[in-house]
Amino acid sequence: MKPKGLLYRIKKDMRKNYSLYLLVLPVFIFYLLFKYKPMYGAIIAFKRYTPTLGIEGSPWVGLENFIRFFNSVYFKRLLKNTLLLSVYSLIFGFPAPIILALLLNEVRNNKFKKLTQTVTYLPHFISLIVVTGMIVNFTMTTGVINDIIVFFGGERSPLLQNPHLYRTIYIISDIWQEVGWGSIIYLAALSGVDSQLYEAAMTDGAGKFKQLIYVTLPSIMPTIIVMLILKIGSLMSIGYEKTILLYNPSTYETADIISSYVYRIGLLEQNWSYSTAIGLFNSVINLILLTITNKLSKRLSETSLW
Amino acid sequence: MKIKRSKGEIIFSGFNYILLTCIMIICLYPVWYVVVASISNSSLLTQHSGILLAPLGFSLDSYRKVFKNPMILRGYVNTLFILVTGVFLDIIMTSIGAYFLSRKGVLLKKPIMMMILFTMFFSGGMIPFYLTLKDLHMTNTLWGLVIPFMVNTYNLIILKTSFQSLPESLTEAAEIDGAGHLRILFFIILPLSKAIIAVMVLYYGVGIWNGWFWASTIIRKRELYPLQVILREILMQNDVGAMAAGVSAADQESVGMTIKYATIVVATVPILCVYPFLQKYFTKGVLIGAVKA
């Protein structure tokens, strides 16, 4: 049979599956309007955009906005804050759910296990507004955390105004909110470990600790590696929502990250093109990081995102 | 099988139970504090210092003030509107997309899949998205909080994976009987996917209930504020003024405190009530998502 042209094949397929294409049309339009139109709109990063002239009508300025950002006094601080917050939350936040899952896995009383799961998943469902609202109230000079500090002989201080404590507060509250939810995936991996492996290890005289090192951890290592790679791939995309709710001018020095800066410069000060350029810079770095980690993941664990 | 446990294991096990109990207390205590503080007597609460285990006195005053606040009721109504319309449209759109992507023998499926997946890894960014919404007249309307967020790509992939795991013979049989795509999707596939749809309802529902950022960005009219935005004003910007009216200046702060805590309870209880019932479903969702991701 003679191979037909691509256009012909598409036409034929369109005729055959037209009702299916018609059905998916709203979803297709959704992606065009709300995902691809903003991507096109990102070209204002290379323009001097004013709403009256519109995206097309605004004059091109090349890389001016990017150069301005790289030369700005904030550039180093924002990059440092973004990376530090991510790296700290990786170091402290990443192992936490694994440890919780390992502890839960040792519980034999099923009722207790279920209860612990229900309780530790709960904070995940509390809204960010409420969580940050609680943080603000608890860390106030008159708040409960200061009460505890005083009890142990410390001094009262407004904790959230202290730039040196900002990251600690951010990361501890993050762990509090997500540790249980994050443990689900490791618990599932743990339940898949063959019990014969443990029996064999026990006949060889391995105690609990040796079983952990030689049986449990190697069995869930693929899951751990995939999760770690995903986490590294999103180092630069740490969320702005919590930052916007928690920071204030007195903590900008450690708290302000790229995405919160984009928000401030763009939505609050309406510096459209400049903030879009900073956001685009962040997105591109993200994509590069993700591509590299994905390649690594393919080589190391034969799992990849695409 | 009963395994004999060594002394060390028994000690470890005891230690483990104690540790997990501590973790549970840490997870629950802030929530408990808020509840207890909200029903405490406001002046006793300000005088009190340190850990709070039980309510100090008992007063439902703060709740009375919260429910009298017209903005909170307004916020509830607005949130309920975007919750109901949002979850409904989200489920329909995501199902349609997932159905399309789960079909075999469609030529353009692959490029469309690529186009959808790409949006998970790259986006135009916050500002172009905002300008797009403005362009499409999605600002200052509750629909602007529904329509631009109808499909979450991550959820779409979860649902697609789930649809693909259904036996193909079912849809084939229906096709032979002359059923169209809508019929197959809504009368065969969806009824068989109740568990995963429950997960989707939970994911989308929690996201909408807790969402605040875009609401605070694109909505300027106060009467359109959803609950979380009003909550933010009360919690962060100390905007209890109206509710604490008629209270002496000295008592303002203490009354404000209990009002804040009562507001948190009022805004959080609905979610916490639903979630334990859906717990058995959502682990499933996390797992299907993880297999793919």
The SS3 assignment for B211 reads coil
Q: Is the pLDDT of residue B3 over 60?
A: no
pLDDT digits (tens, 9 = 90+) for B82-106: 999 999 999 999 999 999 999 988 8
Q: Is B236 on the interface with A (CB under 8 A)?
A: yes
The two three-digit tokens of residue B222, written as one number: 């106060």
Q: Which of residues 186-225 of B touch A (CB under 8 A)?
A: 206, 209-210, 212-213, 217
Domain with CATH 1.10.3720.10 in chain A: 75-301
CB atoms closer than 10 angstroms to residue B47: 9
pLDDT of A143 reads 83
Instruction: Please give chain A's pLDDT, 306 residues, in tens.
Output: 556 688 888 888 888 889 999 999 999 999 999 999 999 999 999 999 999 999 999 999 999 999 999 999 999 999 999 999 999 999 999 999 999 999 999 898 999 999 999 899 999 999 999 999 999 988 988 888 888 888 898 888 899 999 999 999 999 999 999 999 999 889 988 988 888 888 888 888 877 788 888 889 988 888 888 888 778 877 887 889 999 999 999 999 999 999 999 999 999 999 999 999 999 999 999 899 888 888 887 787 666 655
DSSP B138-195: -TTSGGGGTGGGS--HHHHHHHHHHHHTS-HHHHHHHHHTT--HHHIIIIIIHHHTHH
pLDDT of B53 reads 81
Contacts B28 to A, Cβ<8 Å: 119, 122
Q: How confident is the model at residue B212 (pLDDT cuts 50, 70, 90)?
A: very high
pLDDT of B6 reads 75
Q: Which of residues 169-228 of A touch B (CB under 8 A)?
A: 176, 179-181, 184-185, 188, 202, 207-208, 226
Q: Verify whether the Cβ–Cβ distance B128 to A276 is below 8 Å.
A: yes
Note whether residue B158 is domain-resident.
yes
Note whether residue B49 is domain-resident.
no
**Residue whose structure tokens are 């919260």:** B66
* Residue of chain A whose alpha carbon sits nearest to that of B35: A134
pLDDT of B293 reads 43
Q: Verify whether the Cβ–Cβ distance B232 to A133 is below 8 Å.
A: yes
pLDDT of B4 reads 61
Contacts A190 to B, Cβ<8 Å: none
Residue A145 CB contacts under 8 Å (≥ 6 apart), including other chains:
A138, A139, A159
Q: Is the pLDDT of residue B292 over 60?
A: no
Q: Is the pLDDT of residue B12 over 50?
A: yes
Which structural domain, as residue segments, surrounds residue B273? Answer: 70-288
The two three-digit tokens of residue B189, written as one number: 């596939």
Closest Cα partner for A193 from A179, A214, A176, A177? A214
pLDDT of B1 reads 44
pLDDT of B119 reads 93
Whichever domain contains B259, its CATH number is 1.10.3720.10
Note whether residue B193 is domain-resident.
yes
Closest Cα partner for B268 from A178, A174, A125, A137? A125
Contacts B106 to A, Cβ<8 Å: 13, 17, 20
Report the domain count for chain B: 1
The count of residues in chain A is 306
pLDDT digits (tens, 9 = 90+) for B220-274: 999 999 999 999 988 876 655 556 555 555 566 667 788 889 999 999 988 888 8
Nearest to A129 among B93, B212, B217 (CB): B212
**Separation between Cα atoms, residue A172 and residue B191, nearest integer Å:** 42
Note whether residue B8 is domain-resident.
no
**Does the domain formed by A75-301 have CATH 1.10.3720.10?**
yes
Q: What's the rounded mean pLDDT across residues B46-56?
A: 78
**Separation between Cα atoms, residue A118 and residue A110, nearest integer Å:** 12
**Separation between Cα atoms, residue A287 and residue A178, nearest integer Å:** 25
Q: Is residue B35 a contact partner of residue B265, using CB atoms and an 8 Å limit?
A: yes
Note whether residue B46 is domain-resident.
no
Q: Is B290 on the interface with A (CB under 8 A)?
A: yes
Note whether residue B2 is domain-resident.
no
pLDDT digits (tens, 9 = 90+) for B157-202: 989 988 998 888 888 888 888 889 999 999 999 999 988 898 899 8
* Candidates B15, B42, B127, B214, partner chain A, best to mutate (most A CBs within 10 A): B127
* Residue of chain A whose alpha carbon sits nearest to that of B90: A27
**Separation between Cα atoms, residue B45 and residue B258, nearest integer Å:** 8
B246 Cα to chain A: minimum distance (Å): 23
**Separation between Cα atoms, residue B151 and residue B120, nearest integer Å:** 12
pLDDT digits (tens, 9 = 90+) for B73-88: 999 999 999 999 999 9
The count of residues in chain B is 293
Structural Rg of chain A based on CA atoms: 25
Contacts B117 to A, Cβ<8 Å: 306
Q: Verify whether the Cβ–Cβ distance B125 to A280 is below 8 Å.
A: yes
Q: Verify whether the Cβ–Cβ distance B132 to A283 is below 8 Å.
A: no
Four-residue CA torsion sign, B207, B283, A117, A92: negative
Q: Which residues are A47's β-sheet partners?
A: A60
pLDDT of A251 reads 92
**Residue whose structure tokens are 């390992």:** A102
Nearest to B210 among A127, A275, A305 (CB): A127
CB atoms closer than 10 angstroms to residue A160: 23
Q: Verify whether the Cβ–Cβ distance B236 to A290 is below 8 Å.
A: no
Q: Is A62 on the interface with B (CB under 8 A)?
A: no
Task: State the amino acid at position B161 in one-letter form.
Answer: T
3-state SS, one letter per residue, for A267-287: HHCCCHHHHHHHHHHHHHHHH
pLDDT of A242 reads 94
**Separation between Cα atoms, residue A97 and residue A190, nearest integer Å:** 13
Q: Which of residues 236-295 of A touch B (CB under 8 A)?
A: 240-241, 244-245, 259, 262-263, 266-267, 272, 275-276, 279-280, 282-283, 286-287, 290
Q: Verify whether the Cβ–Cβ distance A39 to B33 is below 8 Å.
A: no
